Amino acid sequence: MACAAGIAALDLLEREDGPGRVRALAPFFEQAVHSLNGARHVLDIRNIGLAAGLTIAPLPGEPARRPYEIAMKCWEAGFYVRYGGDTIQLAPPFISEQAEIERLINALGDALQATD
């Protein structure tokens, strides 16, 4: 059953040209993510395709606290972002549109600004 589901998912990716969608959207995503360069608490931004990581300045003795708080503010705004250690991790779906990416980055920017 699990193998059949995996094969069906791969077939869908191929049929819907998932890799092509990523190639088309990646430059926009990169520009949007890097627009947060210099934002409050952001130490580093890196990305490839539709994946990005933002290194967040740690609180003394609590390096994971600030990323957690930022992620929870994004959740309250309707976006799921992962966090691990001192990093916020973004990976929007292949089917994302530019307007959705803009809303995600705006919500993340607001969360960064609102976090101590």
pLDDT digits (tens, 9 = 90+) for 71-111: 999 999 999 999 999 999 999 999 999 999 999 999 999 99
Residue 16, in any domain of the structure? no
Residue 70, in any domain of the structure? yes
Residue 10 confidence class, pLDDT cut points 50, 70, 90: confident
| pLDDT recorded at residue 115 | 95
Q: Which CATH number belongs to the domain containing residue 59 in this structure? A: 3.90.1150.10
* C-alpha span between 42 and 36 (Å, rounded): 8
Name, in order, each residue with C-beta under 8 angstroms of 97's C-beta and a sequence gap of 6 or more.
none
* 79 three-state secondary structure: coil
Residue 7, in any domain of the structure? no
In the predicted model, is pLDDT for residue 9 greater than 90?
no
Q: Which token pair is 9?
A: 């998912």
Q: Which token pair is 29?
A: 């995503």
Q: For residue 91, give the nearest of 58, 56, 46 by alpha carbon.
A: 46
In the predicted model, is pLDDT for residue 24 greater than 90?
yes
| pLDDT recorded at residue 2 | 85
Quote the domain boundaries for residue 101: 25-114
Give per-residue pLDDT as tens, 25-78: 999 999 999 999 999 999 999 999 999 999 999 999 998 999 999 999 999 999
Q: Please state the domain count of the chain.
A: 1
Q: For residue 42, give the nearest of 98, 86, 96 by alpha carbon.
A: 86
Dihedral angle computed from the Cα positions of residues 67, 71, 77 and 81, in that order, rounded to the nearest 10 degrees: 130
DSSP lists the bridge partners of residue 83 as 88
Residue 17, in any domain of the structure? no
Residue 13, in any domain of the structure? no
Residue 12, in any domain of the structure? no
| pLDDT recorded at residue 1 | 84
Residue 30, in any domain of the structure? yes
